[in-house]
């Protein structure tokens, strides 16, 4: 069980920052953890952390068990000179993207990732690669489209399985159009694949969860808000600045991936 910090226990500005980073990590990590794709058992702890002041060390202990995410947080924190990988700025950089990513040297990042994910790469990020992985970026989109095997599994233009997994695993945005109990209706642009390149299609309506029996990853939601989507969950509210950065890094990653697909065909 996680320890809840009581209202009578004062928090410094630094500890509030750490807690917000831990809570943000929990929000984004919960959906795949709940599905059993990554991280330790007991995903409900992460769900509750979206609305409670969960003890930082408990969340940090769980975060270290997310083998795919933790190494990226360490890379970002080290490059930025930040001691804590769960600092809110570091967590935001990994899931959404921010200027901390500009401080990371791609070659150094690639070297770390080669040894960490050897055998799992699909984009030439391997020990035998003949060119530097100049595109290496400690961002969740890079992990989805470079380290995960699904891009390498894309086949003909009608390949719904791989495209669906990539679309659900990436962090994408959606505009809330309706709130119905524990579900939201959102307008979101889906990932597309024409047999040669990945892209983003016209916005479509989809239904996602934002709460489970009243336990929510978010605070209040209302139509018109932009939310971050991970698998079938709305896991965060996006400011206009965050939305812009997420769109930027999404496009950057798709361009990088399509370049690799074209050269490796």
Please report the domains of the chain, with CATH numbers, ordered by start residue.
155-264 (2.30.30.140)
Which pairing describes strands 226-230 and 172-180: parallel, antiparallel, or unpaired? antiparallel
Confidence of residue 166 (pLDDT cuts 50, 70, 90): very high
Least trusted range by pLDDT, from 18-27, 51-60, 76-85, 256-265: 51-60
Beta bridge partners of 180: 183
Range 134-149 average pLDDT: 89
Q: What is the mean pLDDT of residues 152-178?
A: 90
Q: What is the pLDDT of residue 89?
A: 95
* Burial category of 50 from C-beta neighbours within 10 Å (exposed 0-12, middle 13-18, buried 19 and up): buried
Report whether 140 contacts 94 (CB < 8 A).
yes
* pLDDT band at residue 220 under the 50/70/90 scheme: confident
Confidence of residue 133 (pLDDT cuts 50, 70, 90): low
Mean pLDDT lowest for which of 20-24, 32-36, 208-212?
Answer: 32-36
- Confidence category of residue 7, pLDDT binned at 50, 70, 90: very low
Give the pLDDT band (50/70/90) at residue 16: very low
* Model confidence band, residue 76 (pLDDT cutoffs 50, 70, 90): very high
Span 58-87, average pLDDT: 88
Other CB atoms within 10 A of residue 55 CB? 17
Q: Indicate the angle between helix axes 106-116 and 67-80, nearest 10 degrees.
A: 150
151 pLDDT above the threshold of 70: yes
**Per-residue pLDDT band at 3 (split at 50, 70, 90):** very low
Whether the pLDDT of residue 51 is over 50: the answer is no
Q: What is the pLDDT of residue 239?
A: 94
Q: What value does the mean pLDDT take over residues 250-254?
A: 95
Mean pLDDT for all residues in the chain: 81
Dihedral sign (CA 7, 65, 257, 99): positive
Q: Take residue 128 and report the two structure tokens written for it.
A: 């035998």
Positions of E strands within the chain: 172-180, 183-188, 191-193, 198-200, 204-209, 211-212, 215-216, 226-230, 233-237
Q: What is the pLDDT of residue 23?
A: 81
């Amino acid at each position: 069980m996680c320890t809840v910090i009581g209202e009578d226990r004062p928090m410094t500005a630094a500890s509030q920052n750490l807690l917000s980073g831990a809570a943000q990590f929990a929000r984004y990590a919960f959906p795949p953890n709940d599905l059993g794709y990554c991280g330790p058992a007991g995903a409900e702890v992460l769900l509750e952390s979206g609305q409670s002041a969960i003890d930082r060390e408990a969340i940090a202990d769980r975060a270290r068990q997310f083998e795919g995410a933790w190494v990226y947080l360490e890379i970002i924190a080290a490059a930025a000179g930040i001691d804590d990988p769960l600092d809110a700025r570091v967590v935001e950089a990994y899931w959404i993207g921010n200027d901390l990513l500009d401080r990371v040297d791609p070659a150094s990042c690639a070297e770390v990732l080669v040894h960490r994910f050897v055998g799992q790469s699909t984009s030439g990020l391997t020990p035998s690669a003949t060119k530097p992985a100049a595109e290496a970026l400690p961002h969740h989109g890079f992990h989805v489209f470079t380290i995960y095997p699904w891009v390498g599994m894309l086949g003909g233009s009608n390949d719904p399985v791989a495209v669906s997994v990539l679309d659900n695993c990436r962090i994408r945005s959606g505009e809330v159009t309706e709130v119905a109990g524990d579900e939201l209706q959102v307008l979101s642009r889906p990932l597309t694949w024409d047999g040669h390149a990945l892209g983003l299609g016209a916005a479509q309506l989809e239904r996602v969860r934002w709460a489970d029996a009243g336990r929510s990853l978010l605070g209040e939601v209302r139509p018109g808000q932009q939310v971050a989507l991970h698998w079938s969950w709305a896991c965060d509210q996006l400011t206009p600045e965050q939305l812009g950065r997420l769109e930027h890094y999404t496009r950057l990653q798709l361009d990088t991936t399509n370049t690799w697909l074209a050269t490796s065909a």
